[in-house]
Amino acid sequence: MLVLRTVSELRAWRAGVDRVALVPTMGSLHEGHLELLREGRRRVKIGEGAVVLSIFVNPTQFNDPRDLASYPRDELGDLAKAAGVGVDLAFCPSHAAELYPANASTWIEVEGLDRHLCGASRPGHFRGVCTIVGKLLGLIRPTYAIFGEKDFQQLAIVRRMHRDLLFEGEILGCPIVREPDGLAMSSRNTRLGAEARVHALAIPRFLAEVRQRFAAGERNTGALLADAESRLNPGHIDYVSLVDAEDLQPVATVERPALVALAVVFGGVRLIDNTVLMPDPSS
Ligand code: AMP
């Protein structure tokens, strides 16, 4: 596996490759990331092109400098894991200045889709995400760029940016990978203390209950999300929302595919998760 650290090396390498599957990450890799990389390998087989992993803790998408400083980093471990699933190239910029030239003042912003959920509670977050993903798409020109549904709003926003800005290739989404006890895998889980780790199971339990209520015929948002505070106790709720799965605007009743999304803080660690509710088209 090749490791490149500069934009100029990356450009020179790209000129000699036909098809590319790209998985952008901030590192501290877990099974969720590895599934995206395996999907890349299925899409671009050995000999057809390359699977590229990018590892970059993107400063512009953090609104809290303490969150950026404490974001887990494990490059050596990441490179070993990536090699294990057949990644051809890891792009690990040596310095943020590789991707943000001095006085960089150009941003990509997708309007509307960022109005609710994480967009509302983390101002500027998706501007940072879109700007870095846009730079990577422009540089690497992937045949496939692969993202997780764990960050459902991010995936929706990246799809819209990709379409609106006429990028080539295809954006692919992959299902959420969970721990055996149901907690969605996240690099941030390593920061959970033992007690908070147990309390955090309230999240998958809550989502399972919402799905059960929905399966039993409940379609009203208020009833589906009722008592969220007590059910997610002792977590501090940032948001618990039910939105249209396509335009991400709140809905009062579920008539089309809808997204239940939440962000809850356990033991000082902000965790996000979601599930999609699909009404039967015949009902
Ligand atoms: P991150 O580096 O954690 O910000 O995420 C890099 C990519 O991995 C994003 O597309 C995430 O949606 C995806 N990802 C993170 N956690 C999971 C998970 N548990 N299951 C599936 N994809 C994930």
Count of CB atoms within 10 A of residue 64's CB? 10
> Average pLDDT of the chain?
97
The response to whether residue 118 sits with its C-beta less than 6 Å from ligand 1 reads: no
Does residue 30 carry a catalytic annotation? no
Q: What contacts 117, CB < 8 A, 6 or more positions away? A: 153, 239, 241, 243, 248, 261, 263
The token pair that represents 62 in the structure block: 């953090």
Atom of ligand 1 nearest to the CA of 27: 2
Model pLDDT for residues 198-216, shown as the tens digit of each residue: 999 999 999 999 999 999 9
| pLDDT at position 132 | 98
Average pLDDT over residues 100-111: 97
At 205 the pLDDT is 98
Q: Which tens digit of pLDDT belongs to each residue from 129-187? A: 999 999 999 999 999 999 999 999 999 999 999 999 999 999 999 999 999 999 999 99
Average pLDDT over residues 219-240: 98
Ligand 1 centroid to Cα of residue 92, in Å, is 17
Radius of gyration of the chain (CA): 19
- Residue pair 161/110 in contact (Cβ under 8 Å)? The answer is yes
**Does ligand 1 come within 6 angstroms of the Cβ of 29?**
no
Q: How does pLDDT run across 21-48, given as a tens digit for each residue?
A: 999 999 999 999 999 999 999 999 999 9
Asked whether the whole model's pTM tops 0.85, one would answer yes
Nearest-5° Cα angle at 36, 34 to 39: 110
Amino acid identity at 105: S
Q: Which atom of ligand 1 is nearest to the CA of 186?
A: 16
Burial of residue 195 (number of CB atoms within 10 Å: 0-12, 13-18, 19+) = exposed
Helix axes 152-164, 125-140, angle to 10 degrees: 50
Determine if ligand 1 sits within 6 Å of the CB of residue 176. Answer: yes
- Catalytic residue, from 33, 116, 125, 162: name it: 33
* Statement: residue 283 has pLDDT above 70: no
Which amino acid is residue 257, in one-letter code?
P
Does 282 have pLDDT greater than 80? no
Beta carbon of 156 within 6 Å of any ligand 1 atom: no
Residues 6+ away with beta carbon under 8 Å from 29: 74, 77, 78, 81, 82, 187
- pLDDT tens for residues 247-274? 999 999 999 999 999 999 999 999 999 9
- pLDDT value at residue 281: 75
**245's tokens:** 């799965």
Q: What tokens were used for 252?
A: 């009062």
Task: Give the torsion sign (CA, 61, 176, 275, 249).
Answer: positive
pLDDT of residue 228 exceeding 80: yes
Q: What average pLDDT does this structure show over 105-131?
A: 97
Q: Write 158-161 long-range contacts (CB < 8 A, 24+).
A: 158/129, 158/130, 158/133, 160/110, 160/113, 161/108, 161/110, 161/130, 161/133, 161/134
Q: What is the pLDDT of residue 68?
A: 95
pLDDT of residue 280: 86
**Percent of the chain predicted with pLDDT > 70:** 99
